[in-house]
């Protein structure tokens, strides 16, 4: 899947370069006319095309050639940094190495051009991915103080202010909760992703005792286990001290849809959740049962004409309506 925010950013910085592309019939692989010397621009154009196609390894090689020919070209550092960020990895170690290389490229770009909005956005993306959230916010505010103009920088700061930190692959990395009266941060969740881009866990921070003000500390964490098909099959929850809290197991039908989730505490089954779908695979509701399979309550969803959930209805075992929730859309 293409990462749309990075792709848009990359297209904006590639516009001038793409206008300079040569016709394929008269060019070699680097884009240079037959018999002419290859320039940094030729390799940059090639890297831009390869990046747009998702060929990140080859894009890195092309941008590196461009940098070798002219180390002053900031766009080549940004292009290589973006490619390192989205390069497919085979281990967590390689992922960390690629983020470090991307950081170095964005730092080099900013050192050569402190007014590059694309370099600021690339660096902020790395900081979000490495859980340096406040640093990412500070960096973009610093860009604004230096009069670096960019709608995307303004949009990203608004996103931070709203309590969301999303990377350029559209993965939510952190979600904040605020006091409705004071606006003070009262809790947040940090989401973890493995080298394949799967959500592999999360950590919840909060303060159960706010008598002396909010002191946010780790409250619980979760680690996800996947099967050979990449589906989550178990969530292990831990207390702040690392001790076991509970775990959940998940089962799927032939369509790959989760149909059963069981929650265990101290090794004993506590709750069973059974999820239902329509013929198109859209979730329509779920049952909550005790360890013996006795129905405790049943949730059913109401949809609008476009298929969005507009109401969640909770019924008791006898069919009595107990609770109605209106999704906030957040």
CA distance 17 to 221: 46
Q: Which two tokens stand for residue 159?
A: 């996103």
Predicted confidence at residue 2, as pLDDT, reads 46
Which residues lie closer than 8 Å to 68 by C-beta, 6 or more apart? none
Predicted confidence at residue 139, as pLDDT, reads 98
215 or 140: which leads in pLDDT? 140
Looking at every residue in the chain, the average pLDDT score rounds to 90
pLDDT tens per residue across span 41-71: 999 999 999 999 999 999 999 999 999 999 9
7 or 205: which leads in pLDDT? 205
Q: Which of 3-17, 35-49, 105-119, 182-196 has the lowest mean pLDDT?
A: 3-17
CATH 2.40.50.1070 fits 245-330, yes or no: no
Predicted confidence at residue 149, as pLDDT, reads 85
Select the highest-mean-pLDDT range: 19-23, 212-216, 312-316.
Answer: 312-316
Residue 26 has pLDDT above 80, yes or no: no
Predicted confidence at residue 20, as pLDDT, reads 38
Taking residues 140-162, report their average pLDDT. 95
209 or 3: which leads in pLDDT? 209
Residue 200 has pLDDT above 90, yes or no: yes
Taking residues 113-121, report their average pLDDT. 96
CATH of 4-164, one of 1.25.40.10, 2.40.10.10, 3.40.50.300, 3.40.50.2020: 1.25.40.10
Residue 19 pLDDT grade (very low, low, confident, very high; cuts 50, 70, 90): very low
Residue 32 pLDDT grade (very low, low, confident, very high; cuts 50, 70, 90): low
User: Is the sign of the CA dihedral 72, 78, 84, 88 positive or negative?
Assistant: negative
CA distances from 238 to 177, 190, 203, 233, 307 (A): 21, 15, 9, 17, 36
Residue 21 has pLDDT above 80, yes or no: no
Taking residues 12-34, report their average pLDDT. 44
Residue 24 has pLDDT above 90, yes or no: no
pTM of the predicted model over 0.85: no
- Where does residue 191 rank: exposed (0-12), middle (13-18), buried (19+ CB within 10 A)? middle
Residue 326 has pLDDT above 60, yes or no: yes
Domain ranges in the chain are: 4-164, 171-242, 245-330
Q: What percent of the chain has pLDDT over 70?
A: 87
Predicted confidence at residue 175, as pLDDT, reads 98
Residue 327 pLDDT grade (very low, low, confident, very high; cuts 50, 70, 90): confident
Predicted confidence at residue 203, as pLDDT, reads 98
The torsion of the CA quartet 312, 313, 314, 320, rounded to 10 degrees, works out to: 180
CA distance 197 to 92: 10
């Amino acid at each position: 899947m293409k990462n749309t925010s990075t792709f848009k950013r990359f297209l904006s910085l590639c516009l001038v370069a793409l206008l300079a592309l040569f016709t394929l019939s008269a060019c070699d692989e680097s884009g240079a006319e037959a018999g002419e010397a290859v320039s940094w621009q030729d390799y940059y154009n090639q890297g831009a095309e390869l990046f747009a196609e998702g060929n990140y390894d080859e894009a890195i090689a092309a941008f590196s050639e461009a940098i070798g020919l002219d180390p002053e070209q900031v766009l080549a550092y940004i292009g290589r940094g973006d490619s390192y960020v989205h390069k497919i990895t085979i281990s967590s170690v390689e992922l960390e190495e690629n983020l470090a290389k991307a950081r170095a490229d964005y730092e080099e770009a900013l050192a050569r051009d402190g007014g590059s909005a694309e370099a600021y956005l690339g660096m902020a993306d790395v900081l979000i991915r490495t859980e340096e959230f406040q640093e990412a916010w500070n960096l973009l505010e610093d860009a604004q103080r230096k009069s670096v103009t960019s709608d995307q920088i303004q949009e990203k700061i608004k996103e931070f202010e709203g309590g969301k930190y999303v990377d350029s692959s559209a993965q939510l990395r952190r979600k904040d909760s605020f006091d409705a009266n004071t606006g003070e941060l009262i809790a947040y969740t940090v989401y973890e992703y493995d080298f394949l881009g799967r959500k592999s866990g999360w950590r919840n921070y909060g303060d159960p005792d706010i008598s002396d003000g909010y002191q946010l500390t780790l409250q619980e964490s979760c680690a996800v286990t996947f099967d050979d098909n990449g589906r989550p099959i178990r969530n292990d929850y831990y207390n702040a001290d690392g001790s076991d809290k509970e775990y959940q197991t998940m089962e799927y039908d032939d369509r790959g849809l989760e149909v059963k989730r069981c929650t265990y505490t101290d090794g004993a089954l506590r709750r069973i959740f059974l999820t239902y779908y329509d013929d198109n695979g859209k979730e329509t509701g779920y049952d909550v049962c005790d360890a013996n399979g006795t129905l405790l309550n049943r949730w059913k969803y109401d949809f609008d004409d476009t298929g969005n959930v507009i109401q969640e209805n909770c019924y008791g075992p006898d069919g009595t309506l107990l609770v109605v929730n209106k999704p906030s859309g957040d």
